[in-house]
Structure 1
Amino acid sequence: MTQKQIAVVGGGVVGVCTAYFLAQAGHEVSVIERHQNVAQEASFAHAGIVSPGYSTPWTVPGMPRKILSHLFKSEAAVSVKPTFDRAMWRWVRRWLSEYELERYRINSERMQRMAYYSRDILRQLSEYYQLDYEQTRGVLQLLRTEKDRKLAEPALALLAENEVPHQVLDPEGVRAIEPALASNTPLAGGIYLPEDEAGNCPLFTKRLKQIAGTAGVQFHFTSTVRAIEPESRGVALQIDDGRYAADAVVIAAGIDSVGLLKALGIEVPIYPVKGYSATALIKNFDRAPQSALMDEAYKVAITRLGGRIRIAGTAELGARSDELRERALRTLVKVGGDWFPDAANYAQANFWCGTRPMLPDGPPLIGATPIRNVYVNIGHGSCGWAMAAGCGKALADIISGHAPDIDIDGLTMARYG
């Protein structure tokens, strides 16, 4: 293998994982990040769930009707801000075209293939470096009603087909796993994945940054890549007022990747879907969750991160600002209060919002682009934490001229070719 000088644009969990594995493969790596540290945007305060079984597209059959039913509720899983943004409506049309069962199965298989591989890589890293990032084991999906149970059937069928360890539980079985669940909130049952987990994504990213630094990775913060220009022997990056030459570049800059690629003549149908989280200190540990849960009705996750509870989710289309919208915050507070009312004071939580760079079909894009020496690791949506380690390792293999450990069919730019 020929050692290359490689620039990675983006210091989220995806970019840092990519840089680490490129350095492990023997390359000289620099990470260019416009913030002052790693994991400051989409990686910062999301749910923290690493669950391959739940790494599925939102385009589950039956979801369009559910979305319509939520549009006018005071608390909702999905909201659409009235806008004339043509990019959003184009994305929505493509999104809705993925709701057929066969498309759901194809997209889910692609996402889960990478997510299961990534979980294994993450555990290898954790064990090798003895990393502590507030991990908990086991993820429990809560089904409030029979309608939620019905919507979960396609995902449940995939778990069974792929022989993924899971348990389908009645309400008593759910409460046996999470005994602090409120007894007065309707509960039809649940699905438990004992091998999945949750953890503090920014804490992990900062630990891996330190490890990557000892392996030679250079981190350049408060530096913004304005443009990427192909050259005869590599690429040149315009960084603020200067230029930086490299043999190759990996674009892993979340939603900012769209503009960098568009300037190169590459169109990708990524749209920023806004998500929210609330992080509250636990005041009553006996009434707090043990690990991680997903409220299927509201698409909201509840995770235990040390002495805190994080409630994260909702999807907001058409909102490009960092405004904290009251409707989304009410949804998070409601879900926390419904299931663990005595665990924390959710109204006094630290609230956060960020954009998830989502492709309409769900799976991410990794690998080469039509421009020589330009690679991508983008479009992970809400599953970036679940896929980061695997995507980073697979892309490092590709750039190094090796076949990845897993089949990446359906995860490359050829999908939109």
Structure 2
Amino acid sequence: MKIAIVGAGIVGVSTAYELAHDGHEVTVFEQRNAAAEEASFANAGLLAPHLLTPWSAPGLYTPLKLLGRRATLRLEGVKGTDLAWLWRWRRAARRGAQAAQLSTLEGLARYSQQRLQHIAAQHELEFETSQGRLILLRTAQEQARWQPALQVLRDAGIALREIDADAARQIEPGLCPETPLAGALHLPDATAGNCRLFAQLLRQGTQAGGVQFAFGSRVARLASQPLGVQVQGESGTRSFDAVVLCAGMASAALLRPLGPRLPMAAVHGYSVSAPLREALHAPVASVVDSQLQISITRLGLRVRIAGGAELGAPDAEHHVPTLQQLYRTMNDWFPGGALLSSGLQVWRGARPTLPDGAPVVGASGVPGLWLNTGHGAGGWTLASGCARAVADLIGQRNPDISLEGLGIQRF
């Protein structure tokens, strides 16, 4: 089949890989001039498990606070659509996490990690990976909030231990002994890595294998008859046998004229990537501050600190207090581990998020148009698994993993 993919982030590139693997003729349209330039550019880099990733599901373990110095979500120039999304997210949080959907997501994350590891081994891809994760608990009260997620993980067979502060410091010797630590959750099989590097390596491989990448090509609209895409500046429609929409925040706007509605919002987050200063004082792998929802991850010769959540203006200036919180958290846990005075890469990027925290994967309701978008905080975690599942659906095969509760009909 002749297939178009809209979007060359980690989800789009992974989808291109799987479809090309099945023998399809694939063209990827991307408005930027390279792959992984938006949400995939400098994200936290956390892979499976999914449910221990900040902002993985509404109200799963962190109460939503909108006001005060410890607000978990900052509002910046919000519009009516943002407020409608926020109302639905808060309603989902009050209702409580849906066990069936959480189970589906965690199963998909585990399947996705296995698929990613297979691809990386097969093609000998090196992308600054590390193994193991600690969820740091500043107070004993935090541990209780994690129990719903932990039960889902245990049911899924994920290896995890609830450990005390001494055991945590043995696993991560660089942890500052002066910072209060009540305990931690240890996930020995959790992984992290450089998402953008992996996407670039995968793009190079697929392009060498015949996938066409049309960079600098913004899709102005999707056409249903004939099925295809119209690129901005072109009068005609480029026809395809199938189209897969992996366009992040642009997905909802492209779908709307065809009927389907996606209540998607951009939840912006920050990251600071700093040169490694002293390896003994830096993380061995990755840690997450449970209270502040900030991750600190070792990426080769750098350390990446990621966190913050903003809803609203996509082009807002960097919020200095949020960045200062990232620096403080790094110094709380790993003082001297990273050089924070120079050589920094500071990034603000959007997480295209649906109000239940899960992506939409599968048929759109428009013949030939498929969806693989809205992954929120789990873009890289879920990318390889979702891509394989969509390729199977297009090939009229049953996916090896359940997609129950991830269809567009839930909206």
CA RMSD of aligned residues (A): 1.7
Does structure 1 residue 167 correspond to structure 2 residue 165?
Answer: no
1:57–1:361 Cα contact (<8 Å) kept: no
Superposed displacement of residue 40, structure 1: 0.2
Does structure 1 residue 410 correspond to structure 2 residue 405?
Answer: yes
Question: Which aligned segments of 4 or more residues in structure 1 are displaced greater than 6 angstroms?
Answer: none
Superposed displacement of residue 35, structure 1: 0.8
1:182–1:338 Cα contact (<8 Å) kept: yes
Deviations 1:183-226 (A, max 9, x none): 11111111111111001001100111111113211011111100
Partner Cα separation in structure 2 for residue 63 and residue 291 of structure 1: 23
- Identify the residue that residue 34 of structure 2 maps to in structure 1: 37
- Identify the residue that residue 279 of structure 1 maps to in structure 2: 273
Partner Cα separation in structure 2 for residue 289 and residue 138 of structure 1: 11
Superposed displacement of residue 239, structure 1: 3.9
Does structure 1 residue 295 correspond to structure 2 residue 289?
Answer: yes
Partner Cα separation in structure 1 for residue 289 and residue 30 of structure 2: 34
Does structure 1 residue 72 correspond to structure 2 residue 80?
Answer: no
Q: Secondary structure at the match of 1:310?
A: strand
Superposed displacement of residue 297, structure 1: 0.8
Partner Cα separation in structure 2 for residue 133 and residue 226 of structure 1: 33
Partner Cα separation in structure 1 for residue 331 and residue 175 of structure 2: 10
Aligned-partner residue type, residue 336 of structure 2: D
Deviations 1:44-84 (A, max 9, x none): 001101022525734235633x525xx311x654322254x
Cα–Cα, structure 1 residues 102 and 31, in superposed 2: closer, same or farther, change >3 Å? same
Superposed displacement of residue 102, structure 1: 5.0
Partner Cα separation in structure 2 for residue 41 and residue 236 of structure 1: 21
Does structure 1 residue 5 correspond to structure 2 residue 5?
Answer: no
Q: Secondary structure at the match of 1:103?
A: coil
- Spell out the pairing of 1:147-296 with structure 2 (5 A cutoff): 147-232=141-226, 234-243=227-236, 244-296=238-290
Which segments of 5 or more consecutive residues in structure 1 lack a partner in the other structure?
Answer: none
2:56–2:376 Cα contact (<8 Å) kept: no
Q: Secondary structure at the match of 1:324?
A: coil
Query: In the comparison of the two structures, how many residue pairs are matched?
Result: 407
Deviations 1:224-268 (A, max 9, x none): 100111114x32433432532211111101101111011222211
Task: Please identify, of 137-146 and 381-390, the stretch whose mean Cα deviation from structure 2 is larger.
Answer: 137-146
Work out the percentage of aligned pairs sharing the same amino acid: 37
Q: Secondary structure at the match of 1:202?
A: helix
Q: Secondary structure at the match of 1:19?
A: helix
1:8–1:249 Cα contact (<8 Å) kept: yes
TM-score relative to the length of structure 1: 0.94
1:148–1:297 Cα contact (<8 Å) kept: yes
| Equivalent residue in structure 1 for 2:396, among 367, 388, 401 | 401
- Identify the residue that residue 378 of structure 1 maps to in structure 2: 373
1:76–1:328 Cα contact (<8 Å) kept: no
